A and B are shown apart, each in its own frame.
Chain A
């Protein structure tokens, strides 16, 4: 049964239709990640759930309670903001206890809850400091701590790691993941970083132009994207997309299931580049050696493609090569960009 249910949610800002009919059921304890390009409405949807913006039409229920028009403070949600949004004039302790104080929780209980959360987040030595005396990572942990002490029904994260540097982002991501496992709390996490989406999510929701493109586990989205947009949005580097008539030899591998004006997709690891015989002739345009794997940019029949392999390559830019494609890793899309189900992947 759905714990948090979004029913046909719409949001308009004056003439701009930002959220255009979103239906989504979130189960208790799930970690849901909203991804999409900037301006796709993912943050707006989070703010609608939080009650920071009014829902134009549609309904929102949490644990059986209609919260569509309820003020933020009564929804029993906690939010972690991108800019941390800590109260600059309060100590870490006061920041974390503010909500409990407003809710008139007895003082000794507040002290216990804050102490517990501070311990979980390794903030105990900093409880008397003000936010400006903390580093970015510590501030982010306070923001998370402020949410934890309230034990809300749902945690909302609005791009919480985007203000941190790369190394810290990785660490904090792992901490958030551990915390989620530990608390088992329902969470909604907005990000444009697909590594965060893939590693944190139980289910990922991909948005584009205010509508949901696909909902699924990270690997479902990777292995069975519902359309061209999701196929290209998930995965780094993006899936290679080739028009049906661009490389006939590749299209022939679809056993005739690819429509004439459709598209053929193959992930970089589904392409094999080598100097030997077999496959289509191509030319190496660029080589990106990343250490663990190597990206080889090749051109086949005027179409730029990217191949990924685990081995290092002896190839050089400009080399004439052969490019082969793994027929088990084909993705087929019709002219509208919708995926055509693969016989073997349909279960």
Chain B
């Protein structure tokens, strides 16, 4: 059946409308970041104006953007690396040395993600407090690692599952021990899965705000806390809030843009045998 031209037009319009609707807040944030506070609250809204970089300087002066950026970088990278180091062998054993309980363990790990984070807030806060780790990068890294671990194990598990068991058996016959098998066969074959898992967890940790807001303040705060600090009792400064937000999300957006290809490749790696 030839496609109905009306249907095609409607579908295209619908897709554009949905895309614009989703993009609008982000686009507006971008514009507002380059306005003065007065222009930001102007009615009717301004679409054409003379852009200013004043807000960015103001944000750096008022709240040391670079410190927050550094904290975000450290916690997200560290939690991703530690998470991969734990998740890779865990997923490996579950994928290649299955027992009757493997499925249950995987489901149990996933189920922890279904609990609202706030449910664990009190115990974790008290634990961090008792250990003297409030407002520290190590506590935040640990929490990020643990909260992303189930997803990492699941993603790596499914990427390992795509490796035929016979290839590993062939390696064993060829004299490979566990480490050689992992290093020469599993790792190269799952590098796409490892990369996409790492990228996803990096983004998740970077964007995390609940634990960052509750466990840190001035010293170990991440960019999420920086943004939050701009909605203060003194009132909302839209332009500065937008500038701070833009500065917080820019690195990860740029990073995501460049790693898009790897990400997509990683997610479809197993499909091409």
What residues of chain A have their CB less than 8 Å away from a CB belonging to chain B? 50-52, 71-74, 77-79, 81-83, 85-89, 98-99, 102-103, 146, 150
Contact = CB atoms under 8 A, between A and B. Distances in A.
Contacts of B175: 73-74, 99, 102-103
Contact of B173 (A78, A82, A88): A78
Please provide the 4 A-B residue pairs with the shortest distance between their CB atoms, ordered closest to farther. A73-B175, A99-B174, A85-B166, A85-B170
B164 interface: yes
B172 interface: yes
Contacts of A51: 172
Contact of B171 (A74, A87, A103, A150): A87
B174 A102 contact: yes
A98 B183 CA distance: 13
Contacts of B188: 89
Contacts of B164: 83, 85
Contacts of A86: 167, 170
A26 B163 CA distance: 34
B189 A72 contact: no
A73 B166 contact: no
Interface in B140-154: none
A73 B184 CA distance: 15
A50 B185 contact: no
Given A85-B167, A99-B175, 16 more contacts: A51-B172, A52-B169, A71-B177, A72-B172, A73-B173, A77-B173, A79-B169, A85-B169, A86-B170, A89-B189, A98-B174, A98-B176, A102-B174, A102-B184, A103-B175, A146-B174
A79 B273 contact: no
Interface in B45-91: none
A74 B176 CA distance: 9
Contacts of A88: 167, 189, 273
B170 A79 contact: yes
A67 B119 CA distance: 55
Contacts of B180: 102
Is chain A's binding surface mostly helix, strand, loop or mixed?
loop
A99 B172 CA distance: 9
Contacts of B169: 50, 52, 72, 79, 81, 85
A249 B176 CA distance: 64
Given A85-B164, A85-B166, A87-B167, A72 B173 contact: yes
Interface in B167-201: 167, 169-177, 180, 184-185, 188-189
A85 B173 CA distance: 11
A252 B177 CA distance: 65
A96 to B, nearest CB: 10
Contacts of A78: 173
Nearest to B176: A102
A191 to B, nearest CB: 17
B181 to A, nearest CB: 10
A99 B169 CA distance: 13
Nearest to A76: B175
Contacts of A87: 167, 170-171, 184-185
Most central of B166, B169, B174, B176 by chain A CB within 10 Å: B174
29 contacts: A50-B169, A50-B173, A51-B172, A52-B169, A72-B173, A73-B173, A73-B174, A73-B175, A73-B176, A73-B177, A74-B175, A77-B173, A79-B169, A81-B170, A85-B166, A85-B167, A85-B170, A86-B170, A87-B167, A88-B189, A88-B273, A89-B188, A99-B173, A99-B174, A99-B175, A102-B174, A102-B176, A102-B180, A146-B170
A50 B175 CA distance: 12
Most central of B173, B180, B185, B189 by chain A CB within 10 Å: B173
B172 A52 contact: yes
A146 B172 CA distance: 13
Given A72-B173, A102-B176, A81 B166 contact: yes
Contacts of A99: 173-175
B75 to A, nearest CB: 33
Contacts of A89: 188-189
A83 B166 contact: yes
Nearest to A156: B173
A93 to B, nearest CB: 14
Nearest to A82: B166
B273 A73 contact: no
A52 B173 CA distance: 8
Nearest to A52: B169
Nearest to B185: A87
B171 A71 contact: no
B178 to A, nearest CB: 10
Most central of A74, A82, A98, A103 by chain B CB within 10 Å: A98
A89 B184 CA distance: 10
A85 B181 CA distance: 14
